[in-house]
Amino acid sequence: MIKMSLPNAPVERILRNAGAERVSKDAVEELRNALEDLGEEISRDAIQMADHAERNTVKKEDIDMATQ
């Protein structure tokens, strides 16, 4: 499986919306990596919930449960 990366611009926007006036490239990369790791962890949990429900499709409810 090919690992995709989140684009830098939306990650920088998250930092700016949180109140950062200036954002370094390293900060964007670090947050991007953290968000990707968290997204993969949530995805794995949601997939397990779909499997438990004997479904192949991950649904919104699976994501909701995985983030609780």
Radius of gyration, CA atoms only, the chain: 15
What are the pLDDT digits (tens) for 39-56?
999 999 999 999 999 999
> pTM of the full predicted structure?
0.86
Report the alpha-carbon distance of residue 63 to residue 40 in Å, rounded: 11
Tell me which architecture the domain covering 35-68 has in CATH.
Answer: Orthogonal Bundle (1.10)
Q: Tens digits of per-residue pLDDT, 9-24?
A: 999 999 999 999 999 9
Average pLDDT, the chain: 96
Domain residue spans of the chain:
35-68
